[in-house]
Structure 1
């Protein structure tokens, strides 16, 4: 469960992390009133649970209250990644001296929390890792212990945090890690953690994702869930019981097993494409599950081509093939569909597939190259 920015900031503030002054509104007139109360330039931010709001026009700066009303009117009702903006956060604009990054997530390979601190905040941390890895400090943590002061300072130093800010960044990192553990989070992130010209450190943005399986332990956070505000595709994926993540590309991906899907995403990226989603239907997927998966990915307006990559083990390829046939029977495919089958009963599956409506490619690399080419066209 992902909290809205203003909800995450409330949690952060309760634990002692400073945030900019601001309030949530759903009406342009109220945005003007809040800007008058703040009495300084403000930033108007769409409150939706998707990334890249700024790139989509969901974050706008306003010089005065009337401008805040104008910007709120532009954002409210706007659709970003298919979600209609119903609320905006109006908060003081900061005089930024420097932007940092502090975050905690889970390494599912090691089963341990990971701390990340960087002197390059305000941009995607993945981009920082690729272009300037020397500006990032990353370390696995023992979940038995809190984040000790010496370790937090070491991480801040390795992340190239300026000397005079190391102690305070370390304190914020320790507090954020306590939030991460106390609230059963899968991700707790401040990006950017802003050092102002007045030498204050404030969480200019806040991300807090809670483990759905732990919501029974977090009743006060579970009450904040607004399913109507969630990405409709993610909400539908939950109903189907799928592991689904929406990405920003145009190549739809369906596979059985997280490792296989991740490999497929990496290959798409390697050959110059951009995945539109991560969709794992799990092991032993029957025909109904397969039909639901295709139904889900076909509904994504960003998808221009779909690659269905199945490696049969527990999952039998002939059963998957029947599910694909049922999903496409009697309908015009909205986008090209490529299928790669390998493993248990794959020969039987190839015989079953309706190859008049889809393309069958036996080699994974060839399949990826073809979908990347189609997506580019």
Structure 2
């Protein structure tokens, strides 16, 4: 469960992370009673990213302009989502911007501290720009300072960043979170820090232990009931769309980047699943391989999916096992695939009764062994197409889906 920005800022303020003066706006007329000084920024409160590019972030200097901008934002859908709330926040001029995060690494089963000196993260090159420290034992300020040193910080800035990271970790533990992210952390010319935007992801298994989280979750379910097309997506960290290209990735950034590239290339993305997270109902804990096998079966059972595009980047546990799972999926008898969906997603184009074509992008030297293994499967009639470049993988997937349409 992801929180909206105004909820994130409230949690940050309560734990002692510096945030700007702000006010929740439920209706444009609330701006007549604004308690913060102009100029301000109005932000659409939706879960979709890239709000600024879509017009969901506006800078205004007067009440009249603010009311007009708020009316436009309230009626502006971003990736199909209309905001029910806006956030009005003081304008802030940052001299520098940093990236900070605490994330639960499900492969290591440990929290990891992340930090970068550039808030504009290109997730394809994240390993080069983001420093990390694994919290291997009980947390202490040592871990936060170690990350600050890796980021190349010194003196007062190192101490300030370390203090913010300590509070982020405190929030991470107290609330049983999967992710606490500040992006960007602004630094004024005087050296003061400010969390300008942030993300918080709540571990679904922990919601029942926290009454405040349970109340938020109940409101989300009441206002936005899940589409009943695919019962499994209620528990997956994924996106339900209605195209012919299913997408699997090992991280939210990976999945979203792949989705955007498919759409930009003229393809129609279907169900998108993030393999980094398990079913919330899975007990005991699952492995990465378990989640890959299960997700392939779910997508294969949706007869509208013509192509499955797998985008795996970086370090993956047991890469040979993953290659074997992909190889086995190519040899599935379609009669053995039990229906995983309650209904079809409505597409008029339905593939024949066999497994979808697979396009596999494996990026990084850690996956060389898996890439070589899959290359030996070229003799299979339904062999996966294996590439290292993401653009090439997207082009292959889109071409396969269009060929299936013409047939």
TM-score by length of 2: 0.67
Deviation at 1:158, TM superposition (A): 1.5
Deviation at 1:365, TM superposition (A): 0.4
> Contact 2:308–2:357 (CA<8 Å) still a contact in 1?
no
Q: CA deviation at 1:108?
A: 1.6
CA gap 1:74/1:193 in 2 versus in 1, 3 angstroms: same
What secondary structure, in the 3-state scheme, does the structure 1 residue paired with 2:206 have? helix
Question: Whole-Å Cα distance in 2 between the matches of residues 325 and 184 of structure 1?
Answer: 31
For residues 111-122 of structure 1, what are the structure 2 equivalents within 5 Å? 111-121=109-119
Work out which of the residue numbers 219, 233, 239 in structure 2 matches 1:246: 239
- Equivalent residues in 2 for 1:75-86, closer than 5 Å: 75-86=73-84
User: Structure 1 residue 7: deviation in Å?
Assistant: 0.9
Correspondence for 1:31: 31
Residue 80 to residue 167, structure 1, CA distance change in 2 (3 Å): same
Relative to structure 1, the CA distance from residue 63 to residue 376 in structure 2 (aligned partners, 3 Å threshold; closer, same or farther) is farther
How far apart are residue 203 of structure 1 and its match?
A: 0.9
2:88 corresponding residue in structure 1: 90
1:340-359 alignment runs, 5 A limit: 340=356
- Is 1:207 matched up with 2:199? yes
Equivalent residue in structure 2 for 1:152, among 144, 166, 173: 144
Q: Is the Cα contact below 8 Å between 1:19 and 1:204 reproduced in 2? A: yes
1:252 to 1:169, Cα distance in 2 relative to 1, 3 A: same
Q: Which residue of 2 aligns with 1:227?
A: 220
| Structure 1 residues 182 and 329: CA distance shift in structure 2, 3 A | closer
Partner of 2:10: 10
Q: For the residues of structure 1 that align with 2:402 and 2:208, how far apart are their CA atoms?
A: 45
Structure 2 residue runs of 5 or longer lacking an equivalent are: 280-290, 311-325, 359-379, 387-392
What do the CA deviations read for 1:58-112 (whole angstroms, capped 9, x no partner)?
Answer: 1121123222222211110211111111210001010211111110112221111
TM-score (norm 1): 0.72
1:191 CA drift (Å): 0.5
Cα gap change, 1:326/1:21 in structure 2, threshold over 3 Å: closer, same or farther? closer
Find the counterpart in structure 2 of residue 364 from structure 1: 384
- Residue 59 (structure 1) aligned to one of 57, 67, 70: 57
Give the count of matched residue pairs.
336
Deviation at 1:245, TM superposition (A): 2.0
Aligned equivalent of 1:124: 121
- Deviation of 1:181 after TM superposition, in Å, equals 1.3
Secondary structure at 2:52 match in 1: coil
Corresponding residue of 1:20: 20
Contact 2:98 2:185 in 1 (8 A): yes
> Residue 84 of structure 1: SS of its match in structure 2?
coil
1:155–1:371 distance in 2 versus 1, CA, 3 Å = same
Distance change in 2, residues 1:335/1:102 (3 Å) = farther
Instruction: Provide Cα deviations, 1:206-233, integer angstroms capped at 9, x if missing partner.
Output: 2111100111111212212232588776
CA contact (8 A) 1:244 1:277 kept: no
Aligned mate of 1:166, from 149, 158, 167: 158
Residue 141 (str. 1) matches residue 135 (str. 2):
yes
Deviation at 1:38? 1.5
Deviation of 1:318 after TM superposition, in Å, equals 2.5
For residues 234 and 112 of structure 1, the distance between their equivalents in structure 2, rounded to whole angstroms, comes to: 33
Instruction: Flag the 1:326–1:247 CA change in 2: closer, same or farther, 3 A.
Output: closer
Q: Alpha carbon RMSD of aligned pairs, Å?
A: 4.5
| Structure-2 separation of matches of 1:230 and 1:128 | 37
**CA 138–276 in structure 1, closer or farther in 2 if over 3 Å, else same:** farther
Asked if 1:307 is matched to 2:308, the reply is yes
- Determine the C-alpha separation between the residues in 2 that align with 1:194 and 1:235: 41
Separation in 2, partners of 1:341, 1:371: 8
Match of 1:189 among 178, 181, 185: 181
Deviations 1:156-211 (A, max 9, x none): 12213464311111000011011111111011001111112343211111211110
What secondary structure is seen at the aligned counterpart in 1 of 2:245?
strand
Preserved CA contact (<8 Å) 1:43 1:93: yes
Q: How far apart are the structure 2 equivalents of 1:145 and 1:227? A: 34
SS of 1:190's equivalent in the other structure is strand
| Pair 1:291–1:253, CA change in 2 (3 A) | closer
Q: What is the rounded CA distance, in whole Å, between the counterparts of 1:184 and 1:107 in structure 2?
A: 13
1:373 aligns with 2:399: yes
